[in-house]
Copies of this chain bind each other. A is one copy, B any other.
Amino acid sequence: MESQYKSSGNGGMEVGERERGVAVANKRNMRGCDVVLRFFALALTLTAAVVLGVDKETKTVPVTLVPTLPPVNVPLTSKWHYLSAFVFLVVANAIACGYAAISLLLTLANMNGKKGITMIIIFFDLVMVALLFSGVGAAAAIGIMGYQGNSHVRWNKVCNVFDKFCAQAAAAVAISGIAAAAFLLLVLLATFNLHKRH
């Protein structure tokens, strides 16, 4: 009887330890994913802010001033801060980049997973999702208008002239979109983590 009890007791402990070991390994994996994704989001938002923040192009365009004279070559410059949607996207990326850095440090410092800090991080991750997706939407809408124009409101396309400027803006929008998706994944991961621990 004694040996039976002992063996069952040991078996129980072994199972318990194995489960605890798996849980710890899962938690470590989750934290690893979180740190990698957060670093990824930091790098992407920084890249997007820089790519759009240095976007500038000068082109010499022939303009006909008087119909009887040949056209005059006029240098025209396109800068990122001429369009408020692009300014919004640069600011959104800068805020998200700063927050990604702070939250990365917080996550690394919060290795024992304090509840309050976890909830604060989830809240701000969600705010970044909202901020970045609205910025991406705004800049993409203006970018598409620049590429295609619109005859109904008589807004002509400008990307046939400023092709490099538009390509750079499109790249920044795409990078910001991936960064926004990274923050969305971070929220999902944290929710999944909370869900598993429940």
Interface residues of A (CB under 8 A from B): 78-79, 82-85, 88, 115, 118-119, 122-123, 126, 129-130, 133-142, 144-146, 150, 152-156, 158, 180, 184, 187-188, 190-192, 194-195, 197-198
The residue that A126 contacts in the complex, of B135, B136, B139, B188, with Cβ under 8 A, is B188
Q: Which residues of chain B are within 8 angstroms of A187 by Cβ–Cβ distance?
A: 126, 187, 191
Instruction: Summarize A's interface: helix, strand, loop or mixed.
Output: helix
- Give which listed residue, B133, B141, B145, contacts A133 with CB less than 8 A: B133
Work out how many copies of this chain go into the complex: 2
Contact (A141, B139) CB under 8 Å given A129-B129, A130-B184, A153-B83: yes
Which residue of B126, B138, B141, B198 contacts A197 across the interface (Cβ within 8 Å)? B198
Asked if B129 contacts A191 (CB within 8 A), the reply is: no
How many whole Å from A34's CB to the nearest CB in chain B? 15
Cβ of A145: which chain B residues have Cβ within 8 Å of it?
Answer: 142, 145, 155
CB contact under 8 A between A141 and B191, given known A134-B136, A153-B146? no
